[in-house]
Homo-oligomer: A and B are copies of this chain.
Amino acid sequence: MKAWEANIRRVVPYVPGDQPKGDRLIKLNTNENPYPPAPGVQRALQEMKAETFRKYPDPTSSDLVHALAERYGVGEDQVFVGVGSDDVIAMSFLTFFLSEKPILFPDISYSFYKVWADLFRIPYETPALDADFHIRTEDYMRPNGGVIFPNPNAPTGLLLPLDEVEEIIRRNQDGIVIVDEAYIDFAGASPAETSALELVKKYENLLVVQTFSKSRSMAGIRIGYAVGSPILIRALNDVKYSFNSYTMNIPSQILGVEAVKDEAYFRETVSKIVETREWAKGELWKLGFSFPDSRANFIFASHRRVPAEQLYEALRQEQIYVRYFKQPGLDNHLRITIGTREEMETLFAFLKGYLG
Which A residues form the contact surface with B (CB < 8 A)? 2-16, 19, 27, 30, 32-37, 41-42, 45-46, 48-60, 83-84, 86-87, 90, 94-99, 115-116, 118-119, 145-146, 173-176, 204-205, 213, 217-222, 231-232, 235, 237-239, 241-252, 255
Q: How far is the CA of A267 from the CA of B22 in the complex (A)?
A: 37
Q: How far is the CA of A14 from the CA of B243 in the complex (A)?
A: 9
* B247 in contact with A87 (CB, 8 Å): yes
| Residues in B neighbouring A56, C-beta threshold 8 A | 19, 30, 32, 213, 219-220
| Count of identical protomers in the assembly | 2
* 21 A-B pairs in the complex with CB atoms less than 8 angstroms apart: A2-B173, A2-B205, A4-B176, A4-B205, A6-B99, A8-B231, A9-B238, A10-B235, A11-B242, A14-B241, A32-B56, A36-B54, A41-B53, A46-B46, A56-B213, A84-B244, A90-B243, A115-B242, A221-B250, A222-B246, A249-B252
Q: Given A11-B239, A14-B241, does the pair A247, B176 have CB atoms closer than 8 Å?
A: no
| Residues in B neighbouring A10, C-beta threshold 8 A | 235, 238
Chain B residue with minimal CB distance to A114?
Answer: B242
**Could you tell me the distance in whole angstroms from the C-beta of A196 to the nearest C-beta in chain B?**
16
**Could you tell me the distance in whole angstroms from the C-beta of A51 to the nearest C-beta in chain B?**
4
* B95 in contact with A9 (CB, 8 Å): yes
**Could you tell me the distance in whole angstroms from the C-beta of A222 to the nearest C-beta in chain B?**
4
Partner of A219, one of B7, B55, B238: B55
**SS of A interface (majority):** loop
Chain B residue with minimal CB distance to A49?
Answer: B42
**Could you tell me the distance in whole angstroms from the C-beta of A148 to the nearest C-beta in chain B?**
13
* A4 in contact with B54 (CB, 8 Å): no
Partner of A242, one of B12, B51, B95, B244: B12
**12 extra interface residue pairs, beta carbon distance < 8 Å, beyond A13-B242, A36-B51, A83-B244:** A7-B146, A9-B95, A9-B98, A9-B235, A9-B239, A11-B239, A13-B238, A15-B241, A41-B53, A46-B46, A222-B248, A249-B249
Chain B residue with minimal CB distance to A252?
Answer: B249
| Residues in B neighbouring A46, C-beta threshold 8 A | 46
Q: How far is the CA of A6 from the CA of B15 in the complex (A)?
A: 35
**Could you tell me the distance in whole angstroms from the C-beta of A339 to the nearest C-beta in chain B?**
11
| Residues in B neighbouring A14, C-beta threshold 8 A | 241-242, 245
